[in-house]
Structure 1
Amino acid sequence: MEILRYAAFTTDPAGGNPAGVVLDATGADDAEMLRIAADLGYSESAFLIPKKDGRFEVRYFSPLAEVPFCGHATIASATAYAERHGPGLLRFDTRSGPVDVSTEAAPDGTTTATLVSPRPRTEPLADDDLAALLSALGWDRHDLDPALPPRVAFAGAWHPIVAAATRQRLADLDYDFARLGALMARRDWTTVDLVWRESPTVFHARNPFPPGGVVEDPATGAAAAALGGYLRELRLVDPPVTVTVHQGHDLGRPSLLRVGIPAEAGTGIAVTGTAVVLAG
């Protein structure tokens, strides 16, 4: 298998979220895919099994386990495919359902990819779970933005969405890795989407990812899609609208995600970004 390395949601190899990409993983078993993901050490790697007519079965692995869906590895995979075969529409069959990904090439050679998430949904975050989550983060309820109530949101994977009242609270992140990881494992949460709202359509985000063995994701497309569904369902934006998410700045790997939120309830959320090759 040819193993590719890309950083997603950036045009600079020093930014974005690195992902491993295998465009043809035909014949690889779970153990081999997990071994490759662990060897790479990125938060996730994507393994594509070609089918017919632009369809692919796609598996996503962190260094520790398989995850149902990963946005940044999807953007990276679509970009890698477009650079070799030309832009167009790809259909990914993921463990969370079908995901369409379209790519476009700009005159300067930059490829932009847009995924449309599985059907999003939002559920209440139980008081006990919120208390345990805040305790693991070292936060309390006074640190939260009352205009953005905590919820658990899905758009391919489940993420608690917790909004900080200030940018400083978001920047000062030093959590209990083991405690948060144990809570997330019990609840089947993929990352925790910590956000701060700069303006009605501009957010900053950080995503702890202890279930994957990663302290923090520099860019999380699945969480951005879940945030889009959350904002629409709670009527915190006026769709159709595009929301910008800045992530990775506190890690020194700045990332930019654009989240397209359609007006129709239940429709998939579009997440757009670029990706760039990393040196092997």
Structure 2
Amino acid sequence: MNVVVYTLNAFAKGERGGNPAGVVLEGEDLSLDDSEMQLIAKELGFSETAFMEKSKLANYKISYFTPASEVDLCGHDTIAAFGLMHSLGLAEVGASYTIETKAGILDVDINSEGLVYLSQALPQFFERVSCEEIAPSLGMDPETLESELPIQIVSTGLRDILIPIRSRNLLNEVHPNFDAITAISKKYDVVGYHLFTLDTPDNATAECRNFAPLYDIPEESATGTSNGALLSYLYQHGQRSLEEVEHVMFRQGNSMGCPSEIKAELRLSERGVIKQVRVGGTVAGIERRHIMI
């Protein structure tokens, strides 16, 4: 079978950077089963590939596959899918769509500037993890990793361990032990690590790195779900005020030579309770290719 796959970069900074994604549009090919989708994702080799299908519950159903397995949700691949459809004239500016995912029914919007925003699941805050357990897997001493903020598992659709790093220099000097990160990820049933520092030289809220070797993703250059969780975490721990949770921007991918910008925002109730988490970005570098399976 000859399958049409689009490749592009989501959360791109201008025409540069971003996170490579694969997208198979609904109607482009014959119906694919899970094993065929897994073969395509492995052949493509990107961190995730999205497969769009018809849905009885929403406008679209999207399945997400890493090279190793299926995952419930992928932020950057959702941005890629709708950015692609917008560029092909299949999705309109100002329109809202619903998608059926294994993380639930979620909303996608395309704003007047052509940025695609994904609404994520409401945040869940889970257990904290000690510096002593995490530090060796990053090639660090526990004392170096210690911070006023906790290392904590948070999810807005996917569970990640959020790890504060005190400076950009320390973030860039991290030497991940992927075997150790894989073992800890299995132990805590998480996708991986999302490291961040608030030490930024510009208007970015944080600079981040993301490791998910359990899913054959050594490092990822832009991670939508993790940054939605990160903004929720920063608000939960008093690092962002009620007035500072809109128009937030995170940087990622600089360590990989793939600079990425992830926009994020929280919508709050009158009492300050999080009622919506959104991440957004642009796409670039669209190409069309064929994969035989």
TM surpasses 0.5: yes
Query: Helix, strand or coil for the counterpart of 2:77?
Result: helix
Query: Helix, strand or coil for the counterpart of 1:192?
Result: strand
Cα distance in 2 between the residues matched to 1:51 and 1:92: 8
Query: Map of 1:169-188 to 2, 5 A cutoff?
Result: 169-188=170-189
Offset of residue 142 of structure 1: 2.6
Cα distance in 1 between the residues matched to 2:255 and 2:239: 26
- 1:102 maps to 109
Q: Please tell me the root mean square deviation across aligned C-alpha atoms, in Å.
A: 2.0
- 1:118 maps to 121
Q: Deviation per CA, 1:9-40: give whole Å up to 9, x if none.
A: 01555410001011117621111111111011
Query: Helix, strand or coil for the counterpart of 1:267?
Result: strand
Offset of residue 52 of structure 1: 5.8
Cα distance in 1 between the residues matched to 2:187 and 2:136: 16
Offset of residue 64 of structure 1: 0.4
- 1:166 maps to 167
Cα distance in 1 between the residues matched to 2:221 and 2:110: 22
Match for 1:274: what amino acid? T
Is 1:27 matched with 2:31? yes
Cα distance in 2 between the residues matched to 1:198 and 1:126: 22
Query: Map of 1:141-160 to 2, 5 A cutoff?
Result: 141-144=142-145, 146-160=147-161
Q: Deviation per CA, 1:131-166: give whole Å up to 9, x if none.
A: 332211112333336232211110010011111111
Query: Map of 1:242-261 to 2, 5 A cutoff?
Result: 242=246, 243-261=248-266
Is 1:71 matched with 2:42? no
Q: Deviation per CA, 1:156-201: give whole Å up to 9, x if none.
A: 1001111111111100122111121122123221131100003696
Query: Map of 1:1-280 to 2, 5 A cutoff?
Result: 1-12=3-14, 14-24=16-26, 27-51=31-55, 55-84=59-88, 85-87=90-92, 88-104=95-111, 106=113, 111-127=114-130, 130-144=131-145, 146-198=147-199, 202-240=205-243, 241-242=245-246, 243-264=248-269, 265-279=273-287, 280=289
Aligned residues: 274
TM-score w.r.t. length of structure 1 = 0.91
Conserved? CA contact 2:137–2:181, under 8 Å: yes
Cα distance in 1 between the residues matched to 2:16 and 2:264: 22
Offset of residue 273 of structure 1: 0.4
Query: Helix, strand or coil for the counterpart of 1:253?
Result: coil
Conserved? CA contact 2:66–2:215, under 8 Å: yes
Cα distance in 2 between the residues matched to 1:86 and 1:92: 13
Cα distance in 1 between the residues matched to 2:62 and 2:179: 29
Cα distance in 1 between the residues matched to 2:18 and 2:36: 26
- In structure 2, the gaps of 5 or more residues are none
Cα distance in 2 between the residues matched to 1:96 and 1:187: 18
TM-score w.r.t. length of structure 2 = 0.87
Query: Helix, strand or coil for the counterpart of 2:192?
Result: coil
Query: Helix, strand or coil for the counterpart of 1:156?
Result: coil
Offset of residue 62 of structure 1: 0.5
Cα distance in 1 between the residues matched to 2:144 and 2:268: 31
Identity among equivalent pairs (%): 27
Offset of residue 59 of structure 1: 0.9
Q: Cα distance 1:11–1:175, how it changes in 2: closer, same or farther (>3 A)?
A: closer
Offset of residue 114 of structure 1: 0.5
Conserved? CA contact 1:244–1:259, under 8 Å: yes
Offset of residue 227 of structure 1: 0.5
Match for 1:91: what amino acid? T
Cα distance in 1 between the residues matched to 2:239 and 2:259: 25
Cα distance in 1 between the residues matched to 2:37 and 2:132: 36
Cα distance in 2 between the residues matched to 1:15 and 1:126: 32
Cα distance in 1 between the residues matched to 2:141 and 2:275: 34
